[in-house]
Chains A and B, each alone.
Chain A
């Protein structure tokens, strides 16, 4: 792995791949919010901007006139060709139809039908951990759940999970510093999905690929480019995001015995606790490209600049959330922005929330007493999706349920 130039001043040279950020970004954000609420960095082509205040993040998320979604990942070198993955990379007016098409498949009624399948996936993974006294909460549990759910939804083999995780790493981590790697991941995914599209053209099923083939916008079928872009989006956006959310929730409970015991005793509190984990450990940071010069929070944004749109930092703003730096599993008022704000609200939010809730519920039912293995630490992913990638857990047998 290459060594990165150490950050000199976070306000003028921020780097979301710096090890300090990876290990614990929150003190960095809290410091910036007080002394320089829009940090900048010349590490990213045409200039990087990093707002940390809730109000500024909100204003940018709502402003498609100055801030385009055509680049949703901040990169050291921009990829010259814009890669389309509708609707996440779409701006109005194209965004509206591309999103509307997908809404029913991800709305609460459709997602609720997936619950028994998600529960079965979680139980099978817990069965595999069996009577072990240690395990890895990220490697053995969290990472597999969204892979299997998304594979089912797309109608592709869940055994291709390693391939999916590789593409995600190439797109969101390696590719940020090395554009050809991001392009390679895009091409490999497109080839993979082209084969799936051909298969469904011959024999349609009850899956997303078949749905997109049947879909019409203004009476017209979707272009192949649109179909492949949307399939890549669902794959990339639906996996390590939720894997991170489940992992961060388990990390919290493995390191906060009082909260773990309270949730075991008061299972009705779980939905409130999950919203708080979403706020405090929001996995997903988005991006925008400045397409028209403007000012936000008193700071100028120049055309071409890349904005690191950090919903995680917004969710830690004490001007918006009382005790923003505390994780309160019974926080009743919590209008967090973990799933974004405005027209690009995470399409899969209902699915992600359901996966997180079921995953934690099933884990606590099986392993009510567990902790981070003494002498170890979790390791966290780099870049714009944050969650534990290794999470060494000791399972205490005394309280284990049969």
Chain B
């Protein structure tokens, strides 16, 4: 049985303009700071059940600031 790939989300801070779409789509994975700049919660590891939401956060970011990579 192949091992499930572990995914991690992160925000390219220099690209984030504070549209806040990732935080609305996946509040379990992202949060906004006091200036509205997004960041991954904790270590950014994506529980398997949240992988679809993580992908939506990537595809809905107007600034291409959300990253989803192998942990």
**Quick one: which of B43-71 are within 8 Å of A by CB?**
56, 59-63
> A322-346 toward B: CB 8 Å interface, digit per residue (1/0)?
0000000000111111010111010
- Is the contact region of chain A dominated by helix, strand, or loop, or is it mixed? helix
> A80-113 toward B: CB 8 Å interface, digit per residue (1/0)?
0000000000000000000010011011110000
Q: Which of B19, B32, B60, B61 has the most CB of A within 10 A?
A: B19
Contact A107 B32 (CB under 8 A): yes
CB distance from A338 to the nearest CB of B (A): 9
**Using Cβ atoms and an 8 Å threshold, which residues of chain B touch A341?**
17, 62-63
How many Å lie between the Cα of A342 and that of B15 in the bound state?
8
Contact A109 B34 (CB under 8 A): yes
Contact B35 A337 (CB under 8 A): no
With both beta carbons as reference points, the residue of chain B lying nearest to A343 in the complex is identified as: B17
Contact A350 B35 (CB under 8 A): no
Other-chain residue from A106, A109, A349 in contact with B19 (beta carbon distance below 8 A)? A349
CB distance from A277 to the nearest CB of B (A): 15
A/B pair count, beta carbons within 8 Å = 53
Number of residues from B at the complex interface, CB < 8 A: 18
| Contact (A107, B36) CB under 8 Å given A333-B56, A333-B59, A341-B63 | yes
Q: Which of B23, B34, B61, B62 has the most CB of A within 10 A?
A: B62
| Contact (A100, B35) CB under 8 Å given A108-B23, A339-B19 | yes
Contact A350 B62 (CB under 8 A): no
With both beta carbons as reference points, the residue of chain B lying nearest to A274 in the complex is identified as: B24
How many Å lie between the Cα of A109 and that of B33 in the bound state?
8
**Using Cβ atoms and an 8 Å threshold, which residues of chain A touch B60?**
275, 333-335
> B23-34 toward A: CB 8 Å interface, digit per residue (1/0)?
110000000111
**Using Cβ atoms and an 8 Å threshold, which residues of chain A touch B41?**
none
Indicate if B8 sits at the interface (CB-CB under 8 A): no
15 pairs from A and B in contact (CB 8 Å cutoff): A100-B35, A104-B34, A107-B32, A107-B34, A107-B35, A275-B21, A333-B59, A333-B60, A335-B21, A341-B63, A345-B17, A345-B19, A345-B63, A349-B20, A353-B20
Identify the A interface with B (CB < 8 A).
100, 103-104, 106-109, 271, 275, 332-337, 339, 341-343, 345, 349-350, 353
